[in-house]
Structure 1
Amino acid sequence: MRRGIAWTCPVTGRVLRVRVEIHGHRGARGLWPENTLPGMSRTMELGVDALEFDVALTADRRLVLTHDLTVSAVTSADRGPVHAGDPLYPYVGKPINALTLAQLRTLDVGVRLPRHPDDRFALTQVPMPETRMPTLGAVLGLVNAYEAEGVRLHIELKSDPTRPELTADPEMFTDLVVEELDRHGRLGNAAILSFDWRVISHAERVAPGTRRFALIELDTLHWNGGVGDDVAAAARDAGATTLSPEHIMVDETLMERSAAAGLDVAVWTVNDTELAGRLLDLGVAGVVTDYPDRMRGLWRERGLRLPQPVAPLRPVGV
């Protein structure tokens, strides 16, 4: 358990943290296209403790960044088939695991295409046309090129036990992610995340030194069997080192049970600074946000340690 530095509030008497982490959600989805290399670059240059992003497995067993198990019409646009007469084209709407990396790389994932006019991310996100879907290896290479040792990588393995036709075998999937992290020397500065705790349990066996975040929300708790009243203890028993709940689940009882289980709490997805302040007062260890810039402002107001921005990459020869 990584409790960090703490202080006692003279008004409430509650022990609070001085070191709380900012985790950029899908890079920083509110600012730049999600799960993309340019989005990751700019998020690191803004300054976060961790980059959170999602991975899924293609038909040719390549690990790609995507939040959805089918190609999203909101974050992806067809630009033409990989070859003339491809029977799977158009690719939008098709399962990720039915398409090859080459097919997925034809998509433009740099412009958000909202389904309704009040899509808040479309209003704040800077478009980056002609951006391609990256592989996990490409992201690891990018972070290493930045020499961003202070930035942890939080990799959510997209897995849905209720839709096995779209979902990779959780153990094989976890093995591939762990192998890629190890290849790039990042196992010690990464975390494995999943709503499917089969991934968490297997990660504990094959990468015991890597952090493991048990993601929870009310709609998918049943995926992991009877967790009972004490979800924190159940997550610990499944192999988690951190509990990562949707913010509506966080209250004093959950925080107390997480502490008793020896787990920190990293809460998602928090974009309102007033809500973030209440969660900080409850003692969360990390805040997952689409807007790291907003959280940096709150951290500054509260005198919390700010993650250092990573220096931009210099052009070759400079």
Structure 2
Amino acid sequence: MRVEIHGHRGARGLWPENTLPGLSRTMELGVHALELDVALTADRRLVLTHDLTVSAVTSADTRPLSPGDPHYPYVGKPINSLTLAQLRTLDVGVRLPRHPDDPFALTQVPMPETRMPTLGAVLGLVNAYDAEGVRLHVELKSDPTRPELTADPDLFTEMVVDELDRHGRLDNAALLSFDWRILGHAARLAPGTRRFALIERDTLHWHGCLGDDIPAAAREAGGTTLSPEHVMVDERLMAQAKAAELDVAVWTVNDVTMAGRMLDLGVAGIVTDYPDRMRELWRERGLALPDPVGPLRPVGV
């Protein structure tokens, strides 16, 4: 079985997360899959952002879209209350740590004046690279406990599926969510597309009573892969996942010793902020490495 390296938010430990330059460099480094996050704006555009409100860590205001814009400053505002044009004024290329020992601020290369991209722009970028060997893992950000911040799950899923289909990527993508309502709708819309049931201890209550067999519940909800937080992974969970016929892709693992333990347990994929570290571990273990994607060349060269 191939064991995969999944770049988390591109490669958050190396470059600004969920950005075109960060995703470009991650593809050129070499990963099996690019993981990214999407949310819906006030004008129904799909944008890359991990948070349902504009993060003060990953985003900085530069100017209002127009003089006297009542929504300005945009940092801290809900994504679904702002238009794409407003969000595009933000600088998302410099991480602003809440505390001085933020590990990502210490290792991430700043890229000032980077703008928040749309999902369509990312798909265009991947197609420009002709990166058929890189699967796109699109996490749909949805929180059923905060409906005021969250798009209708059916509409949201349909928009993402349509965008992937429009760019010819539906067969080489995966849809991910902690909100398993999205997985069920995705199973009806795009049964051939992989669906990752994200799970962590803090959101177990979103799904009601799961019983003691989380993988079986994830499969029933429409998942084709179980993607748990690494602290949840043990021999029992792996045995349950095998019984449910689900692969396990574990997140977010940045320590190579921990990654080695996960590999020993039999996970099929490791989601990481540092795919460079995982590539070294893969070499040491003789695992098949993902090929780097060649850099884009200027037209006519």
**So what's the TM-score if we normalise by structure 2?**
1.00
The answer on 1:313 being equivalent to 2:284 is no
* C-alpha distance in structure 2 between counterparts of 1:223 and 1:192, whole Å: 18
The equivalent residue for 1:12 is: none
Please tell me whether residue 276 in structure 1 is matched to residue 254 in structure 2. no
Of 1, 13, 23, which aligns to 1:40? 23
Where do residues 199-278 of structure 1 align in structure 2 (5 Å cutoff)? 199-278=182-261
User: Could you tell me which amino acid in structure 2 is paired with residue 194 of structure 1?
Assistant: S
For 2:202, what is the secondary structure of its paired residue?
coil
Structure 2: state its 5+ residue gaps.
none
Q: 2:130 aligns with which of 147, 151, 159?
A: 147
User: Which of 9, 12, 20 is the aligned partner of 1:29?
Assistant: 12
Say which SS state the counterpart of residue 165 (structure 1) adopts: helix
Show CA shifts across 1:255-300 (max 9, x none). Answer: 0000000000000000000000011000000000000000000000
What's the offset of the Cα at 1:41? 0.1
**Which residue, 175, 181, 193 being the options, matches 2:164?**
181
Which residue in 2 is equivalent to 1:89? Answer: 72
Which one of 107, 114, 137 corresponds to residue 90 of structure 2?
A: 107
Structure 1 partner of 2:41: 58
Partners of 2:7 and 2:300 lie apart in 1 by 31
Q: CA deviation at 1:81?
A: 0.5
SS at match of 1:134: coil
Given residue 121 of structure 1, which amino acid in structure 2 is its aligned partner? F
Percent identity between the aligned chains? 83
Q: How many residues align?
A: 301
1:181-205: CA deviation from partner (whole Å, max 9, x where unpaired): 0000000000000000000010000
Q: Secondary structure at the match of 1:220?
A: helix
CA distance in 1, matches of 2:231, 2:100: 26
In structure 2, C-alpha distance between the alignment counterparts of 1:224 and 1:63, rounded to whole Å? 25
Tell me how far apart the structure 2 counterparts of residues 49 and 209 of structure 1 sit (CA, whole Å). 19
Report the Cα distance in structure 2 between the residues aligned to 1:153 and 1:55, rounded to whole angstroms: 12
**Once the two structures are superposed, what CA deviation does each residue of 1:182-239 show, in whole Å capped at 9, x if it has no partner?**
0000000000000000000100000100000000000001111211100000000001
* 2:147 aligns with one of 144, 164, 171: 164
Q: CA deviation at 1:247?
A: 0.1
In angstroms, what is the RMSD of aligned CA positions?
0.4
Corresponding residue number in structure 2 for 1:76: 59
Work out the CA distance in 2 between the residues paired with 1:63 and 1:126: 25
Give the superposition deviation at 1:316. Answer: 1.2
Letter of the 1:261 counterpart: A
> Taking structure 1 as the reference length, what is the TM-score of the superposition?
0.94
| Distance in 1 of aligned mates of 2:57 and 2:26 | 21
Measured after TM superposition, the shift of residue 137 of structure 1 is 0.1
1:97-136 to structure 2, matched below 5 A, reads: 97-136=80-119
Q: Shift in Å at residue 165 of structure 1?
A: 0.2
Aligned mates of 1:32, 1:130 — CA distance in 2: 13
Match of 1:285 in 2: 268
Task: After superposition, give the CA deviation of every residue in 1:12-36 in whole Å (9 maximum; x if it has no partner).
Answer: xxxxxxx200000000000000000
Q: Report the residue type matching 2:75 in the other structure.
A: V
Name the CA distance, whole Å, in 2 between partners of 1:225 and 1:235: 12
In structure 2, the residue matched to 1:191 is 174
Q: Distance in 2 between matches of 1:52 and 1:225?
A: 27
Q: Which amino acid aligns with 1:236?
A: R
